[in-house]
Amino acid sequence: MIAMSWVGPINASEPPVISEEPSLLERYSNSVQDLILKGFELIGINYRFGGTNPDTGLDCSGFVQIVYKEAMGILLPRSAREQSEIGAVIDRHELKPGDLVFFNTMRHAFSHVGIYLGDNRFLHAPRTGAEIRVEDMRQSYWMQRYNGARRLLAR
């Protein structure tokens, strides 16, 4: 089984390295692996406000919606706010790959969403002029704006 491993610093232009080494991802079910791998396939796609199509661009909730639909067959609500209202509420120290993480980036709670990858990293569509990428939740910007997390997948 191919596993993801993090090598070196996170760089928005470089996707995570795929290797044969064991990783956090191997601890979880094939469905979680499928979900995260689907998210990785979308790295580099341009952000587009209101975007729901990878060919023209995705916003944060459109990205999460497509990943869950294509990898899991789960149709999520359209907005980050609506997505924050489903699933089980979990504490930050309980985060596992595949969980949804929420942030206040537009002066209101739950205005941004991403998919947690493990090791304090998440995958998301950040903003106009940027591409889907991996970020570190320990960066002060994200730490100050963290709103919480939801688990949609049974473990």
Active centre residues (catalytic): 60, 112, 124
Integer-rounded Cα Rg, in Å, for the chain is 14
CB 117 within 8 A of CB 134: yes
Q: Are 143 and 59 in contact (CB under 8 A)?
A: no
Report helix, strand and coil shares of the chain as percent, to nearest 5.
Answer: 25, 30, 45
Hey, what are 103's tokens?
Answer: 């942030």
